Structure 1
């Protein structure tokens, strides 16, 4: 793990082949918290999450430690929120050939108005070649936030960029772990109840689990490696209860 800004504690670590987690610890909640962004290095590099606008210099410094920022081609977001895309226009300026990447709904309701360049809007199940690998867009409206929410899957490394799913308290000091993160994330979620209460949670969890991710690139806390489908379904059971059928069988 490389520290890219000693005063802020910003650091970068390769969690899968060509996939880097950028992590900045903050003290905005008791016990600490963290913001993560993910850089995919390929012929057309992609950054998933921008971080808040005021964090742009820290994240830029970290990206620059791996590739020149000007090489970025896609600035991706799961949903429209400051820590997802607060510095979007700063990135578009720093990487003149880049464009936003998001869901079709996000482009329609927010991004194409907010951003200085039109978005590359992806439909559910659409894929995009970055060079030696492709990424796949997965719509997930209201899981856990707005109508425009979706996630990105690196089909080569089986890495699911899962946004605010499995948000963990603490600084996320360990870049990649295999031990349980569900209990930590549930302990953080329940007091604040920041998930939306979608009527389609079961189907959406099954949709993500069907991709069989081996790495979950969490936006807050450590990234995780293991049987991602099983962990996603375990989260689904916490969100909707056991019901009459196992998670993921009612797609």
Structure 2
């Protein structure tokens, strides 16, 4: 399902049952486009993963409202502490009085407990929480691709991995969901921007993610992807190790 574009070109598309990609295109200074994606899991206790920049709050909030009342949000999660991941966190907390920030224990300790207007729900590695019909599992991946506090969420029913900055694709206009190759364009973008931390543990963590057998990868920048997620994650591990 897709909805008409919102102000700023923000779009909403269903990439798996009750999982929606909200995407805002931007043009960067000096030329070149980029996209900022959030993912909404509509359930009894809905979860928004990533908030977008503060400047994007109005359009992202309106996008959520296309699916459900904004004040029903229960969790506002993110991979790590950056403006595009959680810049609008406090605005969403104000709009959704029952919502909690959702992050790993390290993020809660170093940033979120001070920054957020309400205390975060801090997750242990492999901890699972129920959203109602669905559950999400926190996967701690320090420094993959960057930030000590980094981690991802796996929605276990649909095998959707909310994979943050992994497989980031440059450009502002992408299909919401693709089965085409995203490894080559995302690796070209990584080599240009050099945003991976070069942690020596990257292969082990990528192999751990591959073992979960995701079938949808919900990327923060560019298209979401559907297919053999294990094979794609292992191919990324090979590429990172070779580099």
TM-score higher than 0.5: yes
Which digits, 9 at most, give the CA deviation of each residue in 1:57-76, with x for residues without a partner?
01000000100000000000
**Secondary structure of the equivalent of 1:124?**
coil
Aligned ranges for residues 170-185 of structure 1 at < 5 Å? 170-185=171-186
CA distance in 1, matches of 2:163, 2:174: 19
Counterpart of 1:22 in structure 2 is: 22
Q: What per-residue deviation string (whole Å, max 9, x for no partner) do you get for residues 216-250 of structure 1?
A: 000000000000011011111111129xxxxxxxx
Q: 1:194 is paired with a residue of what secondary structure?
A: coil
Alpha-carbon spacing, 1:42–1:147, altered in 2? closer, same or farther (3 Å): same
Matches within 5 A, 1:54-65: 54-65=55-66
Offset at residue 145 of structure 1 (A): 1.0
**Equivalent runs, 1:36-185 vs 2, <5 Å:** 36-185=37-186
Deviation for aligned residue 1:25: 0.7
> Counterparts of 2:19 and 2:116 in 1: how far apart (Å)?
25
Once the two structures are TM-superposed, the CA of residue 173 in structure 1 deviates from its matched residue by 2.8
Aligned residues: 241
Q: 1 CA distance for matches of 2:171 and 2:141? A: 26
**Pairwise CA RMSD of aligned residues?**
1.1
SS at match of 2:161: strand
- Residue by residue over 1:179-229, the C-alpha shift from the partner in whole angstroms, topping out at 9 and shown as x without a partner, is 100000011110111110111111110111111100000000000000001
| Whole-Å separation in 1 of the counterparts to 2:52 and 2:202 | 26
Establish whether residue 229 from structure 1 lines up as the match of residue 230 from structure 2.
yes
Between the aligned partners of 1:184 and 1:191, the Cα distance in structure 2 is 11
Q: Is the 8 A contact 1:172 1:220 kept in 2?
A: no
TM-score with structure 1 length normalisation? 0.94
